[in-house]
Amino acid sequence: MKSSEKLIETIKQQDIRPMPGWYYFLKNGLLWASFGFAVLLGAMAFSVILFAIQQADFNVLGHLSHSKMEMFLGLLPFLWIGVLLLFTAVAFYSIRNSERGYKFTLAKQIGFSALLSILLGTLFFIGGGGRRLEQAFATNVSLYESIQERKVKIWSMPESGYLSGKITEVAGDHFTLEDFKGKSWEIQYGDTTFIAPIVQMEVGETIKLIGKMADDTVFKANEIRPWGGPGQRHRGRQSF
Amino acid sequence: MIVLKEICDKHSDLEIIQKSLAEVDFFSCLYERYEARLLRYIKRLAYLSDEEAEDILQESFISIWKNLRGFDQSLKLSSWIYRIVHNQAVSLLRKKQSHGEKDRVDWNDTIGSDIPDETVMGLLKEGQDIDHDTHALLERLPLPYKEVLMLKFLEAMSYEEISDVLKLPEGTVATRINRAKKAFRQLADAQHLHFEL
């Protein structure tokens, strides 16, 4: 018996049938859906990372009495970095297993997956998506410590030289500030104090201070900055 | 029942696929069209006997049959078929190696004299006991080098086709071929054989 005959006999005897067309359609569809889904979620994570960086005040590291590395690590949004990495890996896996994915080098496969998330994530961030997502997370996930909560924690260490809160009264060379725990402070400042140009020193304005605690209720400010990220000013009620 | 060669010859690969899906007997056309070169490729790649090579080919064609509707028509059918056959052969080769089977069929038994002129052999400058020497050298190369040299020189495939068979980017194929040629040349020099690749 010829080999080709043997093959046809085997196929007929064992009733081996080609997989249906929809199987491949579904397989490819699922692969591309998982790619799109992963890129989208990666983009969301990246937008939150950008929001965290915007809020993180990395420039205060130079003033810190704590270990700089410790504080730096404390400021990084590891959860969201982890989420971004996870979904980049899923997107990479989807490209790699797509029909023509092998045409791209490993670097291109990873780069393409990450780049799409980064581009989309930047757009989300510009549209305020990062902040909203982060806030939604903070509201709905009890174990999650929000970026704002972490920021408040860092800026509520007067004994280490960090204080923040809302201006309640302004008078000459000092003003009164209510911190996030509701405690009232007298803030002293002078000609040598750096005041960020965007800070208006108005009642209701939320600010953060770098300086020294003079006593239990008095804080001498060396720097006065707006509460929001660099260049942002918050007035009145905080959003967290 | 298989379809007569005269009828098979009237149809292109894609037409045969379409006809096979309607009538399985037409699938024999595809088998017969590729049988000789694939058997030769399997034997060269995995040092198998005729029987083992034929088993691999049968298994591969069963797999091709099962996945016939999944064939991406932007590929050359031959590249897709080679990919499936290659994977089956390499899988068996690895299985044998992991079981410590080192006995290989002698080159002279597995490799016929039907190696095309445009192959590595055709690029040799000096004639010697060419078949045996060349293949003995190929055998000493690591699989990633051996497979690209075989596809490029013995199967006369383009970079794009090799890329589709091995599922590698074309750049990687080119790099690997260059390295494989160097390795091959070094081995040849060590044996005082004269090849030009």
Asked whether the beta carbons of A78 and A56 are under 8 A apart, the reply is no
Asked whether the beta carbons of A186 and A174 are under 8 A apart, the reply is yes
* Shared-domain flag, residues A197 and A95: no
Place of tokens 């400010």: A221
Task: Annotate B73-104 with DSSP letters as a single string.
Answer: TTS-HHHHHHHHHHHHHHHHHHHHHHTT----
Decide which of A113, A147, A181 is a domain's last residue: A147
Asked if the Cβ–Cβ distance from A100 to B72 is below 8 Å, we say: yes
Chain A residue with Cα closest to B30: A4
Residue A16: both structure tokens together: 């081996």
* Shared-domain flag, residues A96 and A164: no
Asked if the Cβ–Cβ distance from A102 to B163 is below 8 Å, we say: yes
Q: Is residue A28 part of a domain?
A: yes
The residue segments making up the domain with residue A169 are: 155-235
* Shared-domain flag, residues A136 and A53: yes
Reported ipTM: 0.79
Q: Is residue A10 part of a domain?
A: no
Q: Is residue A128 part of a domain?
A: yes
Per-residue model confidence as pLDDT tens digits over A14-29: 999 999 999 999 999 9
* Shared-domain flag, residues A134 and A160: no
Decide which of A102, A117, A147 is a domain's last residue: A147
Number of domains in chain A: 2
* Shared-domain flag, residues A28 and A136: yes
All domains in chain B, ordered by first residue: 115-197 (1.10.10.10)
* Shared-domain flag, residues A71 and A108: yes
Mutate to test the interface with A, among B65, B84, B87, B165 (most CBs of A within 10 A): B65
β-bridge partners, A177 = A167, A185
Q: Is residue A214 part of a domain?
A: yes
* Shared-domain flag, residues A140 and A165: no
Q: Please, what is the Cα angle at A156 between A150 and A162, to 5 degrees?
A: 110
* Shared-domain flag, residues A66 and A131: yes
Q: Compute the count of residue pairs across chains A and B with CB atoms less than 8 Å apart.
A: 69
Residue A229: both structure tokens together: 């990220």
Question: Does A159 touch chain B if contact means CB atoms closer than 8 Å?
Answer: no
Asked if the Cβ–Cβ distance from B25 to A3 is below 8 Å, we say: no
Say if residue B103's pLDDT is above 50.
Answer: no
Nearest Cβ partner for A19 among B66, B170, B171: B66
Q: Is residue A8 part of a domain?
A: no
Q: Where are the alpha helices (DSSP H) in B2-49?
A: 5-8, 13-22, 27-46
> pTM surpassing 0.80?
no
Per-residue model confidence as pLDDT tens digits over A88-125: 999 999 998 998 899 999 899 999 889 999 999 999 99
* Shared-domain flag, residues A135 and A52: yes
Report residue B129's pLDDT band, with 50, 70 and 90 as the boundaries: very low
Asked whether the beta carbons of A101 and A95 are under 8 A apart, the reply is yes
* Shared-domain flag, residues A230 and A121: no
* Shared-domain flag, residues A136 and A160: no
> Higher pLDDT residue, A95 or A172?
A95
Q: Is residue A178 part of a domain?
A: yes
CA separation for the pair A89, A87 (Å, rounded) = 5
Decide which of A118, A147, A176 is a domain's last residue: A147
Say if residue B113's pLDDT is above 50.
Answer: no
Q: Is residue A7 part of a domain?
A: no
* Shared-domain flag, residues A74 and A165: no
Asked if the Cβ–Cβ distance from A6 to B61 is below 8 Å, we say: no
Asked if the Cβ–Cβ distance from B69 to A104 is below 8 Å, we say: no
Asked whether the beta carbons of B156 and B170 are under 8 A apart, the reply is no
Q: Is residue A9 part of a domain?
A: no
Chain A residue with Cα closest to B27: A8
Residue A153: both structure tokens together: 């924690």
Asked if the Cβ–Cβ distance from B167 to A12 is below 8 Å, we say: no
